Amino acid sequence: MRASRRRRGPTLSPAYRAWLAENLLRGADEAAIRAALAERAVPAAVIDEALARARGSAELAGARAAIRGLQREALVGRLRRTLRATAPAIERRTAPSPGEFVARYWATGTPVILTDVVPRWPAFSRWSPADLRDRFGAAEIEMSIGRAADDDPDVRFKEHCRATTLGEYIDRVLAAGETNDVYLIANNRNLARPQLQGLLADIALPPGYFDESRSARCGALWFGPAGTVTSLHHDTSNILFFQVVGRKRFRLYPPDEPRLLAAARGVYSTLDPERDELAGAFGLDEVLLPGEALFLPVGWWHHVRALDLSISVAFNNFVWPNQFEWYKPGAPG
């Protein structure tokens, strides 16, 4: 950065003026600013003039006002996180009435695990790889394969989509052992396939929660071996996730976790809790057991690992407005 000369005399270059304004906004001491500029041979008169202009700048005053607003919002977020840390586990309970569910969990963005929904389903006593092969083995599906060689398979999920039958897929899963290579994921849209509509007959969603006329197109089937991983991300709708077979480990972080907001890219995060990249951040670490259902509030970050061969379904076709596509803090600026 160097002083530049114009007709009205020497002034700071645009790059230097931006540097000076940024430092003033950050609260840097003017003496330190003067010393830094003097070390770069900027004349004292130029420094005086630049500081005087910056102090009286309407743009700088506007920027300071905006920063004060952001600081207030950050303070509110800090208060929420501090209070939330007093409840370090997700509540497990029987399903509440729709009104109580909305008031206590939906409206407050609070995760909860429901323990009595899935055990009443025919699917809970019926679904297994053998059962699904016998009833739906010929059904044409889409699978995600070749994930293990990709360090970002969820972001690049389209590259891993392949057509197969459910029977052939089940054979792959049973032969695979523990791996993240093969998986049926939400983006495969298998629950909407006509040949798999019989699966919905084995499911009874909580009364008053869902518009069941939209269950096929708003539901997701997750099926894979132990070792499948869904990388850290958030959704743009509220979701109720039902664990039917096997266990899954969920690591959850609230929407306002600063480190995740800074590392957001689209709906995904560049951070990985399995590499201790979120050590010290407030999070909830829960193993979802067979027969349990987890309410995932919109915006909550979650990383999921299957601890066993796992079959799950998830739905977002609630009766309450549930479209939050605008919530993408990781979208490009």
Residue 3, pLDDT above cutoff 70 = no
pLDDT at res. 13: 85
pLDDT, mean over the chain: 92
Per-residue pLDDT tens digits for 34-66: 999 998 888 998 888 888 888 888 888 888 877
Least confident of 68-77, 83-92, 260-269, 302-311: 68-77
Q: Which residue has the higher pLDDT, 90 or 280?
A: 90
Per-residue pLDDT tens digits for 131-155: 999 999 999 999 999 999 999 999 9
Which residues contact residue 277 at a Cβ distance below 8 angstroms, ignoring those fewer than 6 apart? Answer: 271
Residue 171, pLDDT above cutoff 70 = yes
Least confident of 25-39, 81-95, 159-173, 300-314: 81-95
What is the token pair recorded at 290?
Answer: 């067979």
Q: Which of 74, 120, 101 is nearest to 297 (CA)?
A: 101
* Measured distance CA(238)–CA(101) in Å, rounded: 12
Which residues contact residue 258 at a Cβ distance below 8 angstroms, ignoring those fewer than 6 apart? Answer: 74, 77
147, burial (CB in 10 Å: exposed 0-12, middle 13-18, buried 19+):
buried
pLDDT at res. 68: 75
pLDDT at res. 126: 98
Query: Quick count: other Cβ atoms within 10 Å of Cβ 292?
Result: 22
Q: Which residue has the higher pLDDT, 176 or 60?
A: 176
pLDDT at res. 332: 85
Tell me the β-bridge partners of 294.
113, 241
Contact of 303 with 251, CB cutoff 8 Å:
yes
pLDDT at res. 16: 84
Tell me the β-bridge partners of 141.
164
Per-residue pLDDT tens digits for 209-219: 999 999 999 99
What confidence tier does 310 reach under pLDDT thresholds 50, 70, 90? very high
pLDDT at res. 321: 97
Which residues contact residue 91 at a Cβ distance below 8 angstroms, ignoring those fewer than 6 apart? Answer: 110, 112, 113
Residue 119, pLDDT above cutoff 60 = yes
Per-residue pLDDT tens digits for 178-201: 999 999 999 999 999 999 999 999
Query: Quick count: other Cβ atoms within 10 Å of Cβ 327?
Result: 15
* Measured distance CA(114)–CA(104) in Å, rounded: 13
* Percent of the chain that is helix, strand, coil (3-state, to 5): 40, 25, 35
Residue 301, pLDDT above cutoff 50 = yes
Q: Which residue has the higher pLDDT, 2 or 250?
A: 250
pLDDT at res. 7: 47
Contact of 288 with 241, CB cutoff 8 Å:
yes
For the entire predicted model, the pTM comes to: 0.82
pLDDT at res. 239: 98
What is the percentage of the chain residues whose pLDDT exceeds 70?
93
| 2-15 residues labelled b (16+ CB within 10 A) or e (exposed) | ebeeeeeeebbeee
| 99-138 residues labelled b (16+ CB within 10 A) or e (exposed) | eebbeebbeebbbbbbeebbeebebbeebebeebbebbee
Mean pLDDT, rounded, for 102-131: 97
CA trace torsion 227, 114, 292, 193 (10° rounding): -80
What confidence tier does 76 reach under pLDDT thresholds 50, 70, 90? low
- How many degrees, rounded to 5, is the angle at CA 315 between CA 314 and CA 321? 150
